[in-house]
């Protein structure tokens, strides 16, 4: 599979059984091809260090996306803080599984080309997240 899952500084945990097929389907739905995608789940401290080193941001975040896309091939690395996702799930009164899926598809949508800097962009990417979450059979 071109989509690989890794764990850094945390214990592995169960993901949605069909998550790789779901990601591939979302990419194909956007008329693109799935390249090499690594999803790395990690600790808050691991992601904070990356945020400081690579983005010069000194704050915790739930995801950092590194885009290696070329032409119509979607490739990249998604680094996701399990602790931030757990906190987000509590804050938004949703399940951990739903929130982890939302953060994963959010990162994939960034690789596809969606942005979230403006309010309009945030609304668009959120609508896309909801659309793809509705396609995930949980």
Is pTM, for the whole model, over 0.85?
yes
Question: Token digits for 109?
Answer: 């949508």
CA separation for the pair 14, 32 (Å, rounded):
28
Give the residue extent of every domain in the chain: 3-135
Class of 3-135 per CATH? alpha beta
pLDDT per position in the chain (138 positions), as tens?
699 999 999 999 999 889 999 999 999 999 999 999 999 999 999 999 999 999 999 999 999 999 999 999 999 999 999 999 999 999 999 999 999 999 999 999 999 999 999 999 999 999 999 999 999 865
Strands lying side by side in the sheet with 3-8? 3-8, 33-42, 73-81, 63-67
HEC string of 70-112 equals ECCEEEEEEEEEHHHHHHHHHHCCCCHHHHHHHHHHHHHHHHH
């Amino acid at each position: 599979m071109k989509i690989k899952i890794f764990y850094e500084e945390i214990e592995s945990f169960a993901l949605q059984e069909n998550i790789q097929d779901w990601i591939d389907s979302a990419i194909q739905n956007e008329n693109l091809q799935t390249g090499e995608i690594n999803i790395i789940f990690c600790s808050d401290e691991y992601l904070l260090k990356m945020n400081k080193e690579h983005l010069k941001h000194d704050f915790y975040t739930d995801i950092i996306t590194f885009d290696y896309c070329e032409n119509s091939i979607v490739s990249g690395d998604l680094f996701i803080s399990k602790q931030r996702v757990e906190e987000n799930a509590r804050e938004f009164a949703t399940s951990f599984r739903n929130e982890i899926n939302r953060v994963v598809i959010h990162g994939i949508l960034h690789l596809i080309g969606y942005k979230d800097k403006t309010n309009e962009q945030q609304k668009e990417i959120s609508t896309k997240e909801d659309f793809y979450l509705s396609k995930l059979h949980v």
